[in-house]
Amino acid sequence: MTWQWVVHLAEAGVKITALINRSDPTAPIDPRTAELPPSVEAEFVPHFVSVEPPRLSRRLPVNVYTAIDYQGWQRRALACARELHVTQPFDLVHHLSWASIHHGTQLVKLDAPFVLGPVGGGTMSAPGYSTCFPNSWRYEQVRNRLVQAVRFNPVSRSLVKNADLILASNAETRSVLASMGAGDVQIMLDDGVDPLELQPEPVDQSESGPLRVLWVGRIMERKALGMALDAVRLASESVDIRMTLMGDGENRHVVADTIEKMVDDGTLIDHGWSDQQMLDAAFASHDVLLFNSVRDNGGAPLHSASTYGLPAVVINHQGPGAITSPDWAIQVKPSTTEQSTVDIAGALVALARDRDRRVRMGWASLHAGAANTWPARARSMAERYRAVVR
């Protein structure tokens, strides 16, 4: 994602010095060796500076390791940025990723206008969805309290006080930032669409047979796969419907019995973990994406859906509510596990009975994807930069 930002900002005529952490095992691209597109002019080729994190014991708990590693890298990044700032002063500093309103950033201390985000961290799990967390509700309660208490966090308060612009990935995070006294907070989606992958027409909607529902994601409790399965089972009492499951994770055992029963009765196809080629084929061959996360800053499958012109059914809150709109997604009102199951089932039944509506939603989905391509996002970001430094 960060690579996309850097490349397309460079295409938009922004001269960038990017501080990178090549020790991050999750980074798919080494920008120092990756090939830039020919559309990047020579004077705007990004300058990449590698900042190594401190060496820590892997025996530390994951949360502790992550926090210490993050803060240690931040301090080194600030020292590096200060040296660079002396020889060639920056017009603006943008902390892009990994960004958190809870951990803050050292780069806000640099003597230059500062931008943060898109950033999440303001989402909470509603008590009505507690049954979606049979093994981790206590953790969610603690996390909720941390979000509520973030306004007392001195690191977070300093960040909010000194930022010239904060980009929030959802309305909930914007509300938290506003409650902390943040000045300019704007919504910008968490991810974008590769224009080379944008399809010329939306997916073909089935004219007969079952409604083809796609569920994509890691099987973890906040993704609420159990709710999705129950909704499809309920909808199957009224219409012909079949869901395809593409994902795996540590909480599969929680819904294993339901998965087995639905596979046996033909209402579910279980692909488990799927590679990108399989996912691409799935997005191109289904009628609707079901994305019913009960806590989510964003929603990568929804961006993929808009790449293919695939309608969606979502719970209308947090990231999914920000990414979708009523013209291409049925946005179910957040409530309780039981009520959302009924509401999602009703949405699926309505779509199964109205192909023309699905076709209209497919075109709207594709138009949403076209408006959220990386070049469009970069142009929007560049305009924000100019407004900050003006």
- What are 258-311's pLDDT values in tens digits? 999 999 999 999 999 999 999 999 999 999 999 999 999 999 999 999 999 999
Region 328-334: mean pLDDT is 99
Q: Are 291 and 320 in contact (CB under 8 A)?
A: yes
CATH superfamily of 2-192+373-389: Glycogen Phosphorylase B; (3.40.50.2000)
Q: How many angstroms from the chain centroid is the CA of residue 140?
A: 19
Predicted pLDDT of residue 58: 66
- Judge whether 2-192+373-389 and 211-371 match in fold: yes
Question: How confident is the prediction for the chain on average, in pLDDT?
Answer: 94
My answer on whether omega of the bond before 118 falls inside 30° of 0, hence cis, is yes
Residue 193 DSSP code = B
Predicted pLDDT of residue 1: 65
Q: What percent of the chain has pLDDT over 70?
A: 96
- On the question of pLDDT at 59 being above 80, the answer is no
Q: What percent of the chain has pLDDT over 90?
A: 82
pLDDT tens, position by position, 120-143: 999 999 999 999 999 999 999 999
- On the question of pLDDT at 57 being above 70, the answer is no
Region 361-369: mean pLDDT is 99
Domain limits, the chain: 2-192+373-389, 211-371
Burial class (CB in 10 A: 0-12, 13-18, 19+), 160: buried
Q: Dihedral sign, CA of 96, 99, 101, 107?
A: negative
Instruction: With CA atoms as reference, report the closest residue to 316 among 337, 338, 340, 300.
Output: 340
Indicate the class that CATH gives domain 211-371.
Answer: alpha beta
CB atoms within 10 A of CB 58: 7
pTM attached to this predicted model? 0.92
Q: Output 327 or 102, whichever has higher pLDDT.
A: 327
Rounded-to-5 percentages of helix, strand, coil across the chain: 45, 15, 40
Q: How far apart are CA 353 and CA 350, in angstroms?
A: 5
Q: At what angle do helices 355-371 and 300-308 cross, to 10 degrees?
A: 110
Q: How far apart are CA 193 and CA 312, in angstroms?
A: 16
- On the question of pLDDT at 384 being above 90, the answer is yes
- Give Dmax (Cα) for the chain: 69
Q: Are 232 and 345 in contact (CB under 8 A)?
A: yes
Q: How far apart are CA 119 and CA 113, in angstroms?
A: 17
What contacts 219, CB < 8 A, 6 or more positions away? 225, 247, 248, 249, 250, 251, 252, 255
Residue 230: strand, helix, or coil: helix
Amino acid of residue 43:
E
- b/e map of 9-22 (b: 16 or more CB within 10 Å)? bbbbebebebbbbe
Query: Phi, psi (5° rounding) for residue 352?
Result: -60, -30
The contacts found for 77-82 with CB under 8 angstroms, 24 or more apart, are 77/19, 77/51, 77/106, 77/107, 78/106, 78/107, 78/109, 78/110, 80/19, 80/49, 80/51, 81/19, 81/107, 81/110, 82/110
